Amino acid sequence: MEENQEEKQAAQTTQEPAVEIADGPTKVKDSEPSENGLGFRAFMILGLMSLSLLSSLMVARSPLNTGSEAKVAVGLDSETANVIPSWLPGIGGGDSNKDGIAIVNVYGAIQTESSGSPWQDASGSDAIVKQLRQLGKNQRVKAIVVRLNTPGGTVGASQEIYQELMKLRQQGKKVVASMADVCASGGVYIAAAADKVVANEGTVTGSVGVIFSLANLESLLEKVGVTAVNIKSGKFKDIGSMSRAMTEEERRLLQNLVDSTYEQFVQAVAKGRSLSVEQVRPWADGSIFNGVQAKANGLVDEIGTLQDAVELAQKLADLPEPHIIRVPQNPLENFQMFLRNMFYPSFMGKEILRSTGMLGASPLLYLWTGGVSL
């Protein structure tokens, strides 16, 4: 009996964590904290990279992203592609001879910088234009559906996507715009490049116009005792400075800039929708409206869903079936963007920095500000 009690006490002693007696609360020693912490972080990083790779391979496994052409698309030369087994997920063979329809998403505020994560497609005009160019080189892509869920964004980024879609149409590819929850301002500009536009009945669209936002922090700077000194080569060199009020001459200059950019917008919508400028101007005052009203204004061709847009693209391209195509994603690029965006401000944060002159980005926007949430 005594031996059994001693064994139990010994076992309990080995199970109890080592306790260090010190002044204040009792502390439990943590054995090798640095190695455990590093091991966990390394495990998490490897896990994220693995998920990113699998996500990319799943995208590449799409029926049209298979066969030798798909192997080249994901970064392999033709000789290497030919020796890769057909069963390898995301790179192997499949029904690679089918013509089909590609879907390109334009989600969130439109801006030049790319953003994304290992689990979603990259966004930003640079990434979207890159996708469109890839699709333009793929002879099996006969039509493209642009899925728009955006309040708009910067003028330059919106125009770059518009121009790339126009190039695809010149190549003979059909383009259909599908408006989701919101397709306003810069989203409308992009939709104007499509052969046909489809929207839901309740889609919020419109907001055709331009906004140029700047902040004036002169009073705030005075309260905290900060005085800005600018030495400039010309009277307009510090136009839009947050440290002083805008002069009337500067205001006229910026108004001319906005008016000129607005004319570009109106002309693009009129051309894309086969309307006259006089037909567009009455509702091109920043007004927003729903899908039904947009159709009455000539901004939308049909009321319908994304599936309806895909079927319309199939009909325009004279395809026997709505075979869907997706552009292969580079997992390393998406992972790099994911890490970068963890330490980079959101669009609304960028807007605050832009308005104060602290971020090198254009304050000239095709944007419905009511569609941007904090």
Phi first, then psi, for residue 98 (nearest 5°) are: -80, 135
Q: Please check the confidence at residue 317 and state whether its pLDDT lies above 60.
A: yes
CA dihedral over 120, 113, 337, 214, signed as positive or negative = negative
**Could you tell me if residue 194 is inside a domain?**
yes
For residues 291 and 205, the answer to whether their CB atoms sit within 8 Å is yes
pLDDT (0 to 100) of residue 158: 96
pLDDT (0 to 100) of residue 275: 97
Q: Rounded to an integer, what distance in angstroms lies between the CA atom of residue 252 and that of residue 73?
A: 50
Q: Which residues contact 338 (CB under 8 A, 6 or more apart)?
A: 48, 52, 116, 117, 118
Of the candidates 50, 237, 260, 287, the residue annotated as catalytic is: 237
106: helix, coil or strand?
Answer: strand
**Could you tell me if residue 86 is inside a domain?**
no
pLDDT (0 to 100) of residue 216: 86
pLDDT (0 to 100) of residue 21: 44
Once rounded to an integer, what is the mean pLDDT over residues 16-22? 45
CATH number of the domain residue 367 falls in: 3.90.226.10
pLDDT (0 to 100) of residue 55: 53
39-43, 210-214, 255-259, 364-368, range with the lowest pLDDT: 39-43
Domain that holds residue 290: 98-209+278-371
**Could you tell me if residue 235 is inside a domain?**
no
**Could you tell me if residue 365 is inside a domain?**
yes
pLDDT (0 to 100) of residue 252: 97
pLDDT (0 to 100) of residue 215: 84
**Could you tell me if residue 136 is inside a domain?**
yes
Instruction: Count the domains in the chain.
Output: 1
**Could you tell me if residue 164 is inside a domain?**
yes
Q: Residue 33 is encoded by which pair of tokens?
A: 């904290």
Answer yes or no: 196 catalytic. Answer: no
pLDDT tens by residue, 112-157: 875 554 445 556 899 899 999 999 999 999 999 999 999 999 999 9
CA dihedral over 85, 88, 94, 96, signed as positive or negative = negative
pLDDT (0 to 100) of residue 256: 97
Answer yes or no: 295 catalytic. Answer: no
- Angle, helices 125-137/155-170, rounded to nearest 10 degrees: 10
**Could you tell me if residue 307 is inside a domain?**
yes
pLDDT tens by residue, 158-192: 999 999 999 999 999 999 999 999 999 999 999 99
pLDDT tens by residue, 30-77: 444 455 556 666 666 666 656 555 554 444 444 334 333 333 333 444
Of the candidates 125, 178, 185, 241, the residue annotated as catalytic is: 185
